[in-house]
Amino acid sequence: MSWSKLKQQLESFLCPALVGTYEYRSTSYRYVSDKAGQCYISVDKKNILNMSDAAKWIRWYGTELEIKNDPTIQVPVTDEDLELVRGEIKGNVPEDRLEVIARGRKKSELAKKLWLAQSELSKSNFTDVATRFLSTSIDESIESNHILLNVLALVDRRVGKKRILNMSEKIKLKHPVVQYFYELRLSTYR
């Protein structure tokens, strides 16, 4: 599928409130063999999500440790998580320490998922992922671990206000880029 046709299809699903501020862009270098071009998403003419290198506007993590130590990432701990840790330790451990252990484990899992999704994004092809988005359901795209699928779903007009408001807890566990586009979409309702 040509870039112009793909862009037209993606823009046809764009939330009406974001038309004019949110934009898909692509550059290509016809006569340079080692430059395949770039695809990126811009908001208010700023490149936010660049498919070939890290964007200036969003924090990109270099290691799992950076994610685990980021105070902005909040990981909720459930009673089931505490019970799982309690069962594995099999000892007399204070309740607050159990919560620290459970949160540490969940942050490690989250860090691995975020870092994997981020590294997958940098080497993925925008056109392939966008084509896959157009052929899958919105629910699959929202629940996916792929950053670009999440972003495309969040700015889609088929995702309503109620669904956007109900996914605030899930978004806290997503990459900062996804959180940025969630906040952008949320701002259209204010």
pLDDT value for 25? 85
Q: What is the mean pLDDT of each run of 10 residues along the chain (190 residues)?
A: 87 93 80 62 87 58 78 85 88 86 88 74 68 93 90 94 91 88 91
Q: Which are the contacts of 39, defined by CB distance < 8 A and separation ≥ 6? A: 24, 25, 26, 51, 52, 126, 127
pLDDT value for 138? 93
Residues 147 and 103 sit within 8 Å (Cβ to Cβ): no
pLDDT value for 123? 38
Please tell me the total number of residues recorded for the chain in this structure: 190
- Determine the 3-state secondary structure of 115 from DSSP: helix
pLDDT value for 4? 85
pLDDT value for 53? 47
Handedness of CA 130, 131, 134, 137 (dihedral sign): negative
Residues 99 and 77 sit within 8 Å (Cβ to Cβ): yes
Residues 79 and 177 sit within 8 Å (Cβ to Cβ): no
Residue 74 main-chain phi, psi, to 5 deg? -105, 125
Residues 188 and 160 sit within 8 Å (Cβ to Cβ): no
Q: Are strands 46-50 and 38-43 parallel, antiparallel or unpaired?
A: antiparallel
Strands (E), the chain: 22-27, 38-43, 46-50
- Angstrom distance (rounded) from CA 53 to CA 21: 22
Query: Where along the chain do its domains lie?
Result: 3-63+115-187, 64-114
pLDDT value for 66? 82
